[in-house]
Amino acid sequence: MTFNHLAAALLLIAVLRWLYLRRLRERDFWRWYDIYLRSPHWRIYRTLRKALALYRCHSCGWRWVGRSYLQVHHLNYKRLGHERLSDTQVLCHDDHQIRHGRRF
């Protein structure tokens, strides 16, 4: 085995290890995020955020009487747990699905 083959093998091992650890951290993040969305802190923040938006969808502008139809969407996850108003948007269920590109 030449030096180039050994270097390539070591590089491949390092990349595979990095990918594995990244996926592990990502999976742990989403588990924690799911727990956070059920917390009293998020419930209070979500209620206040909807009220500040006057129960209107940021995307389509409709005012929803059925307030549970409105959802608070994270624009980023930088300050998760201590979000600023600029970190979130109030969206109706349909526009939230469109923003994520999936149905839930």
Same domain, 44 and 32: no
Question: Do 28 and 54 have their domain in common?
Answer: no
pLDDT tens digits along 29-86: 888 888 889 998 899 999 999 999 999 999 888 877 655 689 999 998 888 888 899 9
Tell me the residue range of the domain where 8 lies: 1-38
* 3-state secondary structure at position 76: coil
Q: What is the rounded CA–CA span in Å between residue 104 and residue 92?
A: 13
59 in the same domain as 24: no
Specify whether 54 is located in the same domain as 65: yes
Residues 3, 23: one domain?
Answer: yes
As for how many domains the chain has, the answer is 2
CA-closest candidate to residue 68, choices 33, 93, 39, 104: 93
Rounded to whole angstroms, what are the CA distances from 36 to 44, 46, 86? 12, 12, 19
**Confidence at residue 104, expressed as pLDDT on a 0 to 100 scale:** 57
